[in-house]
């Protein structure tokens, strides 16, 4: 009897909460509808124009990004091209890779997908053997390394897969989250919750890499096949 009474009480509490939530939603909708009803034709026309203008600006911005090479994952031939590319765009991700490093190929697959999803960011790759001066200047010591460039300045690095759950099987969303932590792309998820496949195994602690941690390492590969 006591168990049934508890279930009935829980059901009533839940029902009351649902009713209250429904009532709040209905009141909000009624309020919005009332606002629209009270608008005259001139106000509605101004609202329409405002939204159309926002759409036009968004389309213009998209075309500008595409004209600068956004929307695709591209290889640049030399370090000279790197400086030109980062000068043109506000947000740039550049993958410093080497053909013999298999983890670079893993990154490639994810970067192709992200380049199509995040037009606001330019995605590039550069062979370290063609960019000795740039690697020295940016203190690139471990391959693969992603240099995250904002407003023409290198803001952060992703070195190897440590920040991606320390596994070769990380998801595209995990890389997307890590890039979002550096504000190099617009991440729509919760930055406080890394989307690692197994939270228990990899944990949720994330420490931003400082440039000084890169200086102390040998020029090395994060792959086992080198």
Residue 210, pLDDT score: 41
Q: What percent of the chain has pLDDT over 70?
A: 81
Q: What is the CA radius of gyration of the chain?
A: 25
Specify whether the CB–CB gap between 71 and 115 falls below 8 A: yes
Higher pLDDT, 212 or 86: 86
pLDDT tens for each residue of 108-154: 999 999 999 999 999 999 999 999 999 999 999 999 999 999 999 99
pLDDT tens for each residue of 22-77: 888 887 887 777 777 677 777 878 888 888 888 999 999 999 999 999 999 999 99
Topology of domain 69-180 in CATH is Glutaredoxin (3.40.30)
Residues 6+ positions from 94 with CB-CB distance below 8 Å = 82, 85, 86, 124, 125, 126, 146, 147, 149
Residue 222, pLDDT score: 56
Secondary structure in 3-state letters for 47-104: HHHHHHHHHHHHHHHHHHHHHCCCCCEEECCCHHHHHHHHHHCCEEEEEEECCCCHHH
Give the N- to C-terminal CA distance of the chain in Å, as an integer: 70
Mean local confidence (pLDDT), 162-166:
93
Question: pTM of the predicted model, to two decimals?
Answer: 0.69
Instruction: Name the band, by pLDDT with cuts 50, 70 and 90, for residue 5.
Output: low
The span from the CA of 170 to the CA of 185, in Å, is 18
* Range with the largest mean pLDDT of 10-14, 91-95, 167-171, 221-225: 91-95
**Region of residue 71 (phi > 0: left; psi between -120 and 50: alpha; otherwise: beta):** left
Residue 7, pLDDT score: 62
How many CA within 13 A on the CB side of residue 131? 25
Phi first, then psi, for residue 155 (nearest 5°) are -95, -30
DSSP secondary-structure letter at 38? H
């Amino acid at each position: 009897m006591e168990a049934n009474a508890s279930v009935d009480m829980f059901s009533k509490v839940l029902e009351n909460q649902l009713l209250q939530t429904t009532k709040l939603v209905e009141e909000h909708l009624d309020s919005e509808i009332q606002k629209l009803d009270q608008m005259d034709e001139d106000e509605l026309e101004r609202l329409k124009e405002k939204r159309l203008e926002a759409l036009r600006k968004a389309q213009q911005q998209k075309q500008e990004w595409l004209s600068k090479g956004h929307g695709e994952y591209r290889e640049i031939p030399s370090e000279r091209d790197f400086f030109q590319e980062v000068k043109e765009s506000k947000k740039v991700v550049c993958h410093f890779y080497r053909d013999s490093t298999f983890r670079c190929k893993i990154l490639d697959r994810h970067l192709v997908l992200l380049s199509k999803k995040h037009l606001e960011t330019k995605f590039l790759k550069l062979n370290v053997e063609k960019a000795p001066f740039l690697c020295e200047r940016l203190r690139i010591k471990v391959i693969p390394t992603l240099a995250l460039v904002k407003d023409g300045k290198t803001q952060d690095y992703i070195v190897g897969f440590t920040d991606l759950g320390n596994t070769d099987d990380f998801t595209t969303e995990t890389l997307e989250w890590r890039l979002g932590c550096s504000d190099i792309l617009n991440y729509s998820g919760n930055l406080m919750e890394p989307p690692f496949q197994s939270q228990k195994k990899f944990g949720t602690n994330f420490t931003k890499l400082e440039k000084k941690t890169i200086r102390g390492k040998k020029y090395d590969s994060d792959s086992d096949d080198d």
